[in-house]
Amino acid sequence: MKIERAEVIVTSPDRNFVTLKVTTDDGLVGLGDATLNGRELAVASYLADHVAPLLIGRDAHRIEDTWQFLYRGGYWRRGPVTMAAISAVDVALWDLKAKAANLPLYQLLGGASRTGLLAYGHASGRDLPELFDSVRSHLEQGYRAIRIQTGVPGLRAIYGIASNPTSEANKGVRYDHEPAQRAARPAEEDWDSRAYLRHVPGVFEAVRNEFGPELPLLHDAHHRLTPTQAAQLGKALEPYDLFWLEDCTPAENQESLRFVRQHTTTPLAIGEVLNSIWDYQTIITERLIDYVRSAVTHTGGITHLKRIMEFAALYQIKSGFHGPTDVSPVGMAAAAHLGLAIHNFGIQEYMKHGARTDAVFGQTFRFTDGLIHPGDEPGLGVSLDVDEAGRYPYQTAYLPYNRLADGTVHDW
């Protein structure tokens, strides 16, 4: 099974996606997702200019060898651009191997460990009535676990809230589903950690009073707090029994999580901006987190994320793979196959893609009664309509960023 072609397809149906399409001499096609939100073209160039030419003529069955060749052989290691590019190759090769074996990919990863994957969706609102409506609408869609993000009095636009984005083109677009905005420059938002810390515990109290004790609730602090503030928030949220508190403080400084852990039993999830097993070394071995948030797309593919999850399993740490709209249907399918197979699956983030995206990417992926299943077609179960993709050329789009009241740039 020799690789004959490797093409990079950039398309922007509802948002930008970067897809690697690998074709073998026996005519099989494998797909990999390399979408890096707001930096898509850097990964497209890395793949098209430096990786795709090296794939031609290689044996598509040699997944581990190809992974090591691209990681060690490239000399410059880790980092989101490199690891997204390696991921796209890795996932495309797993897709090909499973198609060659005529099996759904999860069968090659050890077979199903469960019947479906618990998924969580994003509810948000500027105020409580809007938030409650959003929670109800998610419950009606079948979600059995829900992330809660809320506006903060005094702050204009903030992360994760269905508000009017600042760019004209995106007015009225529901922001909880898509933080990136199509515009020449990133939108600017507000932040004030003290106002946020005063407001959030009351919101969770109200949500528990309205929806009861059973519903798993999640929350994302999106890297904005110091370790001291993160510890305060974790402690303040303990009465509301969160499923997890995500990215409570920036994770570059892994040791800072020790302090947070000493002060709160609220479960912690980290990792959507981490991209290698080395980024997890301290937080896994010291059990400073409960959930691994990496996406297959940004963490060197199935080969590497499976390795991270096996390492995490030694410490009773589970998966909570990143699944925002910037992970394409190809990346979501890869996450679903991996999540179905591993023993230490925890939960999967899931937001529906738009109708244009679903027309570009054919999918066997199912979301039924709050559970995800990748389907049973050979491979990933995703096809790419290249003509349909060609109708939507790349559009400049960025994630927003934050400034404090005095104009200081803050973590986003």
**Amino acid type, 320:** G
Task: Give 175 or 345: the residue with its C-beta nearer to ligand EZ4.
Answer: 175
179 binds, among Co ion, ligand EZ4, none (CB under 5 to 8 A by kind): ligand EZ4
Nearest to 267 by CA among 250, 292, 300, 285: 292
Query: Does residue 159 carry a catalytic annotation?
Result: yes
Task: Give 7 or 411: the residue with its C-beta nearer to Co ion.
Answer: 411
**Amino acid type, 345:** F
Question: Among 192, 272, 279, 377, which residue interacts with ligand EZ4 (rule: CB under 6 A)?
Answer: 272
Q: How far is the CB of 120 from ligand EZ4 (least distance, A)?
A: 10
Confirm or reject binding of residue 192 to ligand EZ4 (CB under 6 A): no
Q: How far is the CB of 322 from Co ion (least distance, A)?
A: 7
326 binds, among ligand EZ4, Co ion, none (CB under 5 to 8 A by kind): ligand EZ4
Residue nearest to Co ion (CB): 220
Catalytic residue among 46, 71, 159, 350: 159
Q: How far is the CB of 118 from Co ion (least distance, A)?
A: 17
Nearest to 289 by CA among 334, 229, 346: 346
- Residues between 59 and 98 with contacts to ligand EZ4, criterion CB under 6 A: none
**Amino acid type, 75:** Y
**Distance (Å, whole) CA 114 – CA 130:** 35
**Amino acid type, 368:** T
Nearest to 365 by CA among 352, 346, 355, 356: 352
Confirm or reject binding of residue 326 to ligand EZ4 (CB under 6 A): yes
Size of residue set near ligand EZ4 by CB under 6 A: 8
**Distance (Å, whole) CA 118 – CA 346:** 8
Confirm or reject binding of residue 189 to ligand EZ4 (CB under 6 A): no
**Distance (Å, whole) CA 283 – CA 101:** 37
Catalytic residue among 177, 222, 298, 337: 222
Task: Give 37 or 229: the residue with its C-beta nearer to ligand EZ4.
Answer: 37
Confirm or reject binding of residue 37 to ligand EZ4 (CB under 6 A): yes
Q: Site map for ligand EZ4, 203-232, x if CB under 6 A?
A: -----------------x-x----------
Confirm or reject binding of residue 346 to ligand EZ4 (CB under 6 A): no
**Amino acid type, 205:** E
Q: How far is the CB of 226 from ligand EZ4 (least distance, A)?
A: 19
Task: Give 272 or 377: the residue with its C-beta nearer to Co ion.
Answer: 272
CB hemisphere CA count around 332 (13 angstroms): 31
Task: Give 58 or 222: the residue with its C-beta nearer to ligand EZ4.
Answer: 222
Nearest to 331 by CA among 272, 391, 265, 254: 272
Helix crossing, 80-101 with 63-71: angle to 10°?
Answer: 170
Q: How far is the CB of 222 from Co ion (least distance, A)?
A: 6
Q: Is the dihedral of CA 41, 16, 320, 265 positive or negative?
A: positive
Contact 23, 99 (CB under 8 A): no
Judged by the rule CB under 5 A, the positions of this chain that interact with Co ion are 220, 272
**Distance (Å, whole) CA 141 – CA 121:** 10
Contact 152, 192 (CB under 8 A): yes
Task: Give 85 or 98: the residue with its C-beta nearer to ligand EZ4.
Answer: 85
Structure tokens at 200: 């959030």
**Distance (Å, whole) CA 61 – CA 64:** 9
Query: Does residue 222 carry a catalytic annotation?
Result: yes
Q: How far is the CB of 39 from Co ion (least distance, A)?
A: 17
| Residue ranges in contact with ligand EZ4 by CB under 6 A | 37, 179, 220, 222, 272, 324, 326, 399
* Residue numbers annotated as active site: 159, 222
